[in-house]
Amino acid sequence: MPVFPSDPYGFLTQWFNNLLLHQGLPETTVRLISFAVGSLILVLGSLLFCLLLIWAERKIGGRVQDRLGPNRVGPYGIVQAVADMMKIFTKEFVTPAGVDKVVYNLAPVLSVAAVIMIWAVIPFTITFFGTDLNVGVLYIVAVGGLAEMGIVMAGWGSNNKFALLGAFRAVAQLISYEVPMVVALLLPVMLSGSMKLSEIVRSQDVWYIITAPVAAAIFFITSLAENGRAPFDLMEAESEIVAGFNVEYSGLKFGFFFVGDFLHAFTIALLFSVLFLGGWRGPAADQIPILGFFYLGIKTAIVYFFGLLVRFSLPRFRIDQMMNLNWKMLTPLSLGILIATALVDKGSANLLSSMAPTARLIVRSIILVLANVLVVWSFSDIFDVALGKRPRPVVALEPRPVARPEQPPTPTEGGTP
């Protein structure tokens, strides 16, 4: 029986379920109702939390760039986001002529939903999670695909060529960066032997940022790119494509895209903490679940802060630089680290199985860190080439003579070439 102060969530759910069961409702109905109520609370909570996030982001952004940030409404400007929200509520919906009504209106909803759906599987404490899917990691990747659908629908439904171009660009970026991200996500899965997020957290006796630092770095970079913020904010390059896929949106619908964006930034920090920083784990978090919530909060805040730091200090990439980084550096590196970790972890399993548990953990971590270092070192050549420090080595054969006319046929006079 969960007690209130140490596990308020477990206590409340049990109380609520018992309340409904005593009304004589069947068990499936009770489960259905409590899931519906839980998801409603989670969605409302995350959306309201977004107000705080917007304030925090603007304030931190201001400080990073040597400005004050919002400082007029409320102490430290903390109510500024509420005022902005009120303003956006009262704005008129301007629907341009020729839009595809359903698609146009569905797109903002979809892009917020895709972010919030991730929250369904995140284990906040040992007892507090929406659902513990046994394919949690895969689910996160799949939900990311829905965000792409939202962008495509926004771009196409707006009936505007800039919006369409922005959507093309955004989706190209998202799909590209999904490749190394998925491969990097495989490392926690491989090390823990499970796709369940709760299992991944539970198995992190040593945080995976230590045993899989390269994967953690790749995941961090790619999730910044998935979020589409500076330095990866090519999808809203004002000077080239006006404002990207959301150019035709106004009022609350435009706000939806931004709510999705702010929430996504926090969600990836949350995911990073769960996957690589041990989630809710910390001293005494097993006995007192509410502590885990604070541990996860602190870890997430730190990762979120680093994400903001990157966002507010780096300039935007050029599109070829962005693609180079992804296809020529991150993708090969993620594949290399995947293969190396798989081989090393399986290869050392026999050696480790005879050791004491503590020694096994330490030796396994050391071996994995060495493997990471080795992989990064062996990739330094590839990075030099990708960064342009060194010319690309010629691996192709010299062109061989083939049976074809030396001179291409000249276009005939007056004919089309």
Partner 1 sequence: MILQIFFLIVALVTLVSAFLVVTARGLMHSALWLVLALFGVAVLFAFLEASFFAVVQVLVYIGAIAILIIFAVMLTRRTKDDSGARLIKGWWVAMLASLALFAGLVVAMSTWPGFQIGPGAGPDPAILPQFGMDLVDPNKYAIPFEVASILLLAALVGAIYIAAGRKEGKG
Task: Please tell me whether residue 186 binds partner 1 under the rule CB under 8 A.
Answer: no
Nearer to partner 1, 148 or 199 (CB): 148
Name the minimum Å distance from CB 43 to partner 1. Answer: 19
Binding residue (CB under 8 A) for partner 1 from 153, 330, 333, 344: 153
Q: Which of 5, 75, 391, 399 is in the footprint of partner 1 by CB under 8 A? A: 399
Among 79-87, 164-172, 229-237, 318-326, which window interacts with partner 1 (CB under 8 A)?
Answer: 164-172
Half-sphere exposure of 344 (CA within 13 A, CB side): 23
170 lines the binding site for partner 1 (CB under 8 A) = no
152 binds partner 1 (CB under 8 A): yes
Asked if 156 is part of the footprint of partner 1 (rule: CB under 8 A), the reply reads: yes
Looking at 34-42, 167-175, 291-299, 332-340, which segment touches partner 1 (CB under 8 A)? 167-175
Considering the complex, state which of residue 408 and residue 414 has its C-beta at the smaller distance from partner 1. Answer: 408
* Per CB under 8 A, 32 contacts partner 1: yes
Distance CA 293, CA 280 (A): 6
SS (H, E, C) 90-121: HCCCCCCCCCCHHHHHHHHHHHHHHHHHHHCC
Find, among 154, 156, 169, the residue nearest to 317 by Cα. 169
Using CB under 8 A as the binding rule, whether residue 28 contacts partner 1 is answered as yes
Q: Does 7 interact with partner 1 (rule: CB under 8 A)? A: no
Of residues 70 through 99, those in contact with partner 1 by CB under 8 A are none
Which lies closer to partner 1 via its Cβ, residue 99 or residue 218?
99
Choices 28-36, 48-56, 359-367, 372-380; region in contact with partner 1 by CB under 8 A: 28-36
Cβ proximity to partner 1: between 167 and 303 the closer is: 167
Site for partner 1 in 127-146 (CB under 8 A): 133-135, 138-139, 141-146
Applying CB under 8 A, does 148 fall inside the site for partner 1? yes
CB of 32 to partner 1, least distance (A): 6
**Options 19, 68, 175, 343; binder of partner 1; rule CB under 8 A:** 175
The stretch near partner 1 (CB under 8 A) out of 8-16, 27-35, 82-90, 343-351 is: 27-35
The nearer residue to partner 1, 29 or 378, going by C-beta atoms, is: 29
- According to the binding rule CB under 8 A, does residue 149 interact with partner 1? yes
Q: Which of 45, 193 has the CB closer to partner 1?
A: 193
Task: Please give the residues from 278 up to 317 whose contact with partner 1 meets the rule CB under 8 A.
Answer: none
Smallest gap from Cβ 299 to partner 1, in A, equals 26
Q: How far is CA 120 from the centre of its chain?
A: 14
Closer Cβ to partner 1, 315 or 399, answer by number: 399
Considering only residues 103, 109, 361, 376, which one is a binding residue for partner 1 as defined by CB under 8 A? Answer: 103
Distance from C-alpha of 168 to C-alpha of 84, rounded to nearest angstrom: 30
Distance CA 171, CA 107 (A): 14
Which residue lies nearer to partner 1 by CB, 54 or 116? 116
Report d(CA 63, CA 306) in Å as an integer.
14
Under the rule (CB under 8 A), what is the footprint of partner 1? 28-29, 32, 100, 103, 133-135, 138-139, 141-146, 148-149, 152-153, 156, 164, 168, 171, 175, 178, 399
